[in-house]
Structure 1
Amino acid sequence: MFSRRKVLVVEDNELNRSLLCQILDSNYDVLEAENGEEALKKLKQYGEGISLILLDIVMPVMDGYTFLSIMKADPSYSFIPVIVTTQNDGESDEVAALSHGATDFVAKPYKPQIILHRVASIINLRETAAMINQIQYDQLTGLYSKAFFYQRVKEILLRNPDRKYDIICSDVENFKLINDVFGIPAGDRLLRGIADMYKTRVNNIGICGRLNSDRFACLLEHNNIYTNELFSEISTEVNNFLEVRNIVMKWGIYYIEDISVSVEQMCDRALLAAHSIKGQYGKYFAVYDDKLRNELLKDQAITDSMEDALAKEQFLVYLQPKYRIKDENLVGAEALVRWIHPELGFQPPDKFIPLFEKNGFITKLDQYVWDKTCALIKEWDDRGFTPISVSVNVSRADIYNADLADILIKIINKYGLAPSRLHLEITESAYTENPKQIIDTVTHLRELGFIIEMDDFGSGYSSLNMLNEMPIDILKLDMKFIQNETAKPNSQGILQFIIDLARWMHVSVVAEGVETKDQLSRLSEIGCDYVQGYYFARPLPKLEFEKLLSADSRKDAESELDDVCEILTELPVLLIADEDKTYCENIRKALRGSYQIVDTNNSTETFGYLEDHPNTAGLVVSLTLPHDDGFKIINFIQSEKQYWNLPVIASSAANADLESRALDSGADDYIAKPHNMDSLLKRVQRSVRDAAAQRKIRELQETAYKDHLTGLLNRHGLENAVRSLNKKDLPAAVFIFDLDDLNNHNDECGHRAGDQELTQFSMILRACTSEKDLLARIGGDEFVIVATQTSAEGIEKLGHEICTASNNKCIKNEYTWSCSAGAAVMEELDIFSDVLEKADQALLQAKKENRGSCCFWKEG
């Protein structure tokens, strides 16, 4: 059932390479390379079949750092974890290795137990994440997921180079509006209906998948029979899925001529064709053609020059002044980016921002703007201008960056600014895409002291529930919304309601796009706080904006907006359990601005603090605390489920035995004293990120590893759980159960009744086993138990107990099915598939000789 994983050892010293191979050989298939160049050849040969790389740094031909740089730049291999090995145990080498993309770091001479522990831990984390990401089918529609659809299309094109194919993609116009008006369940019904339409029409002549939300795609062999009437007919069919009759779908077609183009690009081009006819009544499909291709070429020209433009600082920060309505004083600004191209001249943002958001460059540009903005604020402070805060845009792509908070904190610390001086603008529409993740991220940023503004409010599909959940300080009203609403009589608009709602939520309101005196008067009447727009000033370059600052520096700089900006919040807490007070104080000084440090010096104090503060961000625990308290703390964390997401870093003077013991006990990392604080900060941040990743993986496992009917593990979940067992769990009993005649029961009473019996049988299994045992449903009526630490007598007792309990249940319900079982003993961890096969043979014997009983496998 399980194949051995491949580990690549890259080491020029033959003796060291041989030692590593000897350590790993018992558990892994080991590949060898003498230098980085040879290692790249092995990568090309084995690709993603390699589970992990052990890499030396100092090598001839190509050193480890060069190899890492090349490997991490190639998306085909960048996900493979790398453990760097080196002769030097210095902190600088470790930090350098981690900054080049290494996953972990070990020093020579090699300690077999530590090598095996770290290799197994990293491979398990990577494979668990990969298994989650490789789920083939979209859960809502049953079509291929986006990633698997791309993979299947690529396989088909490579297998059939002489055939011509088309990619067809569809998009529902204003799908979010459908969700908002008719509700998410209705939107889901529509999506399932569209999926059924694809299944019916594509059937056996192609494949189809769901790309995201309301976007679908299919691959068909090329033909020239696409007509507007065909897609009009399909559109009518789609409109029958809901009672509403105004659902508009657009289709785009891409004729595949060059299979070297990525499947993602093919779908993008088909969707670009669909997008080109958006809003055109009666036109249902479009084909990707030269006109669209030329638009892509223009986009490509921008893409080709963007890196060079950033390096040469062609992007400039302009400032849109922000004024307080009640006294019309300048109180802040919004930072906007402008591109002054040396050949093309001034480039409006709507020409490059959407493209940068799509290709991911927006994250670099945003960070550039953040840095330049903070530099300006620092310069103005030094020149004695009235202190102001400046708003910067945070793109959707930034929100999904796990390092976002660290990046922002690093920038403001670079210029010695308080986080409240930088306002973070996040568009209203961004909240609707992945509300939970965005709310969690924004909440963390707000806790760090940043001021959060919801930008473009009124331009998307707002809901009161969403607004109530948003962690925001300032509401920015969309420019078009302002222009439309201020043109209405007071009795007909909803501006007053929004202002009152903001007051109730204790947030301030900024109105964008104010162009006339009448608009300003109307906003003043209803109690709006701040405005920006051409009525006061257009976006200004630095020197012109400084003239406004200089003129305003004589005015009173204290304002309500500044009061909002001074919100003080605590940094995340890092708990240090250590007997050395000087060491704790050094950490407090070094990590100021990143973490709030709390220190304890024994297990009792530590347990008490954690009980009162369960949301502590991380724990650094000394292994040399008196009375072995360091290990008591680690064991406590492992035993209490509520603390499983708390990352633990063990510390002591360099001691291989203590390190090995700590890692085996469940510590996430180990750092030897003395060490520099940059290394500790990196380890803490990495451990916190890994803990967050593990938490998300556990959440996903609830779906990916569980049987939806019984709540037990499914086959994938069982395989993963067996991998997590260790020697102390042995010997273990492996049972396989089968519900006899359940198919007949389904035929007589219906599948719902059969499902009820499967659910009740799972409850019997839970009642007869302990929490440490593994329970799984691996087929229609087949169940597996792995009962750990079970004696031969215990095995026989458990098997008969379950069969008897199940058969008694059948008698009471007057059903004719019974439960048969086979069992075998597992005494080694890597033979589970063989033991399961033996249990299956025993099950067959039980069915032949004595249905409703448990048979035990014996040699011969």
Structure 2
Amino acid sequence: MKENLGIKRQVLIVEDERINMLILGKILGDEYEKLHAEDGEQAMKLIRENADTLSLVLLDLILPRMDGYKILDIMQSDNALKQIPVIVCTSEINSEARCLQMGAVDFIAKPYIHPEVIRARVKRTIELSEGIDLIRATENDSLTGLYNYEYFLKYSALRDQYYSDEDMDAIVININKLHSINEFHGREMGNRVILCTARCIRGIAEFYHGIAGRGSGDEFLMYIPHERRPRAILKIIEDNITEIVADTKITIRMGVYPKVDKTIKAEDRFDRARHACNSVRGNFNVRLAIYDKEMNEKEIYQDSLVNSMEKAMESGRFVVFYQPKYAIQGDRNVLYSAEALIRWDHPDYGLLSPAAFIPLFEKQGLIHKLDHYVWNEVARQVGEWMIRYDFKLPVSVNVSRVDMVAPDLDDEIYSLVEKNWITPDLLHLEITESAYTSNADQMVETVQELRDRGFEIEIDDFGTGYSALNMISSMPIDVIKLDMSFIKRIHLSDKEMHLVKLMLDMASFVNARVVAEGVENREQYELLKNAGCDMIQGYYFSRPCPACEFEKLIEKEISCRHAAIA
């Protein structure tokens, strides 16, 4: 409160009769800083000039140049001015209801015969207004003035209490690539886009007698009666913001959960709308998504996968498959190493491929936990094969972009190697080329730390990104894996084969061995062998298989070696 800070509240007395102005001034005493206006236009000028500091307006209705009704009307139409409380002071007793309907908070009748009552009303009005301002400061977003997420949900639930039979839509709206606007045009321009979007969304919500709010960053929310034309709302918003940045087209994406299920929490309703909104992220041709039965079933399915992940790891439901890599430069093809590929033996959904759960776990921030599980399982299996067959077989495991920024990654992986009694050179670490683009300097530093510990580094999906040349010239690597997209047509196109030869030359220049992925037939095999490719991985030799089946390949390799010695 201002009085606790030793600050006098500022009160504007609007009164054209000097005697009444003096009486009110004397009643208020020295407790307040008093401003005076004798006509309506002067009053509006002082109100606008002191909008940030005024605590109260004492307003006469009958004024020269502009009457009190007009002042009330102007103040109520301005979001900043309508927050200033107004007490109407007049002898027109019959005007009380009209003034209160127009936004006045109290009514004092002339003549002023009860000074103590007037002082009490002024004090109470200011205190209530300041209390409301404090509440508003906590419930409204500081930039846009919209409800913040917490209070938006509360008011949405409150609205349902009063209009329980009305069908409602939960809507989530995002500004596409707001970070690019901030980067290229400055944060001030980004804030202008946010403010313009907020004003438009507030207007739409008020038109539909709904509620508007702001989530985090570039997210906005609306809770409005069911609208059968959501695309029209999308167009209104885009039309309002499209002219703000002249040389940048601003688009939004919108997710709608129509006719919400009111038996679920308000937060869950907007999670569904948000899920719909996120489903069109990055697709600039489709900017509107409706949450429907299919999306609901998919969300339930994905939630069940996320919720059962921990139990699946504890019960060994994640199964490592192994795909062999054969060295082909020699008299015979030699089983040189393998790649570990995860599968999920789910009790309800059967054997799931990585595509069903890896992107989901990456999105949920769970991928590092799964990768750690795989590293440990592979290290255990390699150690077991080493003891049972007296056979050292390196196996490559995936190291994701998230893993690369994990603290003390080299210590984490090395501890698993030590625990399973193998050496680091038996656990090859596969890093995708795309991970290099996120933070090249940190990645190079992390890779060097891993190599210093004795791990071999393989670059997966080589040639599919934009950083191939930079990467192989700056990063310490041991093996380059040519993506299968380069291999599948080499027997059909000389151009494709020339590209592969070029990459083989690049690998030779940096003393890296090369593995060709996705080799499926004899023609591809012979072209790669003749071109000098070191290793091959693909269906031509074997599909990925569980450890028990892979052991047959180990046994076959051991037999071939024994036969060669004999």
* Pairwise TM-score range, normalised by the shorter structure: 0.5 to 0.7
> Which residue does 1:489 correspond to in 2?
494
Is 2:280 the partner of 1:274? yes
Is 2:171 the partner of 1:166? yes
Instruction: Please list, as runs of the form range in 1=range in 2, the aligned pairs for 1:685-704 lying within 5 A after superposition.
Output: none
**Structure 1 counterpart of 2:387, from 345, 364, 382:** 382
Is 2:463 the partner of 1:458? yes
Helix, strand or coil at the partner of 1:475: strand
Instruction: Please list, as runs of the form range in 1=range in 2, the aligned pairs for 1:106-505 lying within 5 A after superposition.
Output: 152-158=148-154, 161-163=157-159, 166-169=171-174, 171=176, 188-189=183-184, 197-203=193-199, 205=202, 216-220=218-222, 222=224, 224=227, 226-227=230-231, 230-231=234-235, 234=238, 250-253=253-256, 261=267, 265=271, 268-275=274-281, 278=283, 281=285, 283-327=286-330, 328-462=333-467, 464-484=469-489, 487-490=492-495, 493-505=498-510
Letter in 1 for 2:184: R
Helix, strand or coil at the partner of 1:553: helix
CA distance 1:304–1:189, shift in 2 (3 Å): same
Is 2:502 the partner of 1:506? no
> Which residue does 1:685 correspond to in 2?
none
Query: TM-score scaled by structure 1?
Result: 0.41
> Which residue does 2:557 correspond to in 1?
552
The alpha-carbon deviation at position 403 of structure 1 amounts to 4.3
Q: Distance in 2 between matches of 1:303 and 1:509?
A: 36
The alpha-carbon deviation at position 390 of structure 1 amounts to 0.3
Helix, strand or coil at the partner of 2:520: coil
Q: Distance in 1 between matches of 2:460 and 2:315?
A: 30
Q: Distance in 1 between matches of 2:546 and 2:175?
A: 43
> Which residue does 1:855 correspond to in 2?
none
The alpha-carbon deviation at position 493 of structure 1 amounts to 4.6
The alpha-carbon deviation at position 523 of structure 1 amounts to 2.3
CA distance 1:208–1:229, shift in 2 (3 Å): closer
Helix, strand or coil at the partner of 2:358: helix
Aligned length: 395
Q: Distance in 2 between matches of 1:194 and 1:523?
A: 52
CA contact (8 A) 2:148 2:215 kept: no
CA contact (8 A) 2:257 2:270 kept: no
CA contact (8 A) 1:320 1:540 kept: yes
Deviations 1:790-822 (A, max 9, x none): xxxxxxxxxxxxxxxxxxxxxxxxxxxxxxxxx
CA contact (8 A) 1:252 1:285 kept: yes
CA contact (8 A) 2:148 2:214 kept: no
Letter in 1 for 2:543: R
The alpha-carbon deviation at position 227 of structure 1 amounts to 1.2
CA contact (8 A) 1:318 1:335 kept: yes
CA contact (8 A) 1:235 1:248 kept: no
Q: Distance in 2 between matches of 1:361 and 1:546?
A: 31
Q: Distance in 2 between matches of 1:151 and 1:444?
A: 48
The alpha-carbon deviation at position 322 of structure 1 amounts to 0.4
What root-mean-square deviation, in Å, do the aligned CA atoms of Structure 1 and Structure 2 show?
4.2
Helix, strand or coil at the partner of 1:521: helix
> Which residue does 1:82 correspond to in 2?
none
Q: Distance in 2 between matches of 1:482 and 1:151?
A: 55
CA contact (8 A) 1:394 1:424 kept: yes
CA distance 1:516–1:190, shift in 2 (3 Å): farther
CA contact (8 A) 1:485 1:494 kept: no
CA contact (8 A) 2:522 2:540 kept: yes
Please say which structure displays the higher CA radius of gyration. 2
Q: Which moved more, 1:483-492 or 1:444-453?
A: 483-492
Letter in 1 for 2:238: I
Query: TM-score scaled by structure 2?
Result: 0.59
Instruction: Please list, as runs of the form range in 1=range in 2, the aligned pairs for 1:1-40 lying within 5 A after superposition.
Output: none
CA contact (8 A) 1:167 1:218 kept: yes
The alpha-carbon deviation at position 199 of structure 1 amounts to 3.6
Helix, strand or coil at the partner of 1:551: helix
Deviations 1:84-126 (A, max 9, x none): xxxxxxxxxxxxxxxxxxxxxxxxxxxxxxxxxxxxxxxxxxx
Q: Distance in 2 between matches of 1:495 and 1:228?
A: 51
Letter in 1 for 2:158: D
Q: Distance in 1 between matches of 2:145 and 2:504?
A: 47
Q: Which has the higher contact order (CA 8 A, sep 6+)?
A: 2
Q: Distance in 1 between matches of 2:481 and 2:156?
A: 54
The alpha-carbon deviation at position 252 of structure 1 amounts to 3.1
